[in-house]
């Protein structure tokens, strides 16, 4: 599945627009990540545990979006973006949304 942030793919033309696709994940840090994050917040520094959690959350949202596109019959997603929103500030739950437009591309010959 080709996924791009652009709305055109060199050498291909869009032959069918199938609609918006998305993948959404809401995740909170584990107790360990939360404690470590709190300490790093006090003392400063890179929080590898939070970074890993965020990267996995983005990957999961991306995978859900690609699955949604495949279910619609797409062979590509154009205009791809991520968005993130804190949904529960007390528990640090964050929503990550991956979205774009599912299309069918055909190679230009």
Reference 65, options 12, 18, 9, 11; nearest CA is 18
In the structure encoding, which two tokens stand for residue 101, read together? 């437009």
Burial of 79 (0-12, 13-18, 19+ CB in 10 A): middle
pTM flag (> 0.85) = no
CATH code, 77: 3.30.110.70
Q: What is the pLDDT of residue 89?
A: 60
Q: What is the pLDDT of residue 85?
A: 84
Q: What is the pLDDT of residue 51?
A: 77
In the structure encoding, which two tokens stand for residue 10, read together? 């060199």
Residue 89 domain boundaries? 2-107
Q: What is the pLDDT of residue 84?
A: 87
Please report which confidence band the pLDDT of residue 88 belongs to, taking 50, 70 and 90 as the band edges: low
Q: What is the mean pLDDT of residues 88-109?
A: 86
Beta bridge partners, 95, equal: 26, 85
CA–CA distance from 107 to each of 5, 43, 80 (Å)? 19, 54, 20
pLDDT of 43 above 80: no
When divided into structural domains, the chain yields a total of: 1
pLDDT of 76 above 70: yes
Q: What is the pLDDT of residue 38?
A: 53
Reference 64, options 101, 107, 21, 20; nearest CA is 21
* Mean pLDDT, all residues of the chain: 85
């Amino acid at each position: 599945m080709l996924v791009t942030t652009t709305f055109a793919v060199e050498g291909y033309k869009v032959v069918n627009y199938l609609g918006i696709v998305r993948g959404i994940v809401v995740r909170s840090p584990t107790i360990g990540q939360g404690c470590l994050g709190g300490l790093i917040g006090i003392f400063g520094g890179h929080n590898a545990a939070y970074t890993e959690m965020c990267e996995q959350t983005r990957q999961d949202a991306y995978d859900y979006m690609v699955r949604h596109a495949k279910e619609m019959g797409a062979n590509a997603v154009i205009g791809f973006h991520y968005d993130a929103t804190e949904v529960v500030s007390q528990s640090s739950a964050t929503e990550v949304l991956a979205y774009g437009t599912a299309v069918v591309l055909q190679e230009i010959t």
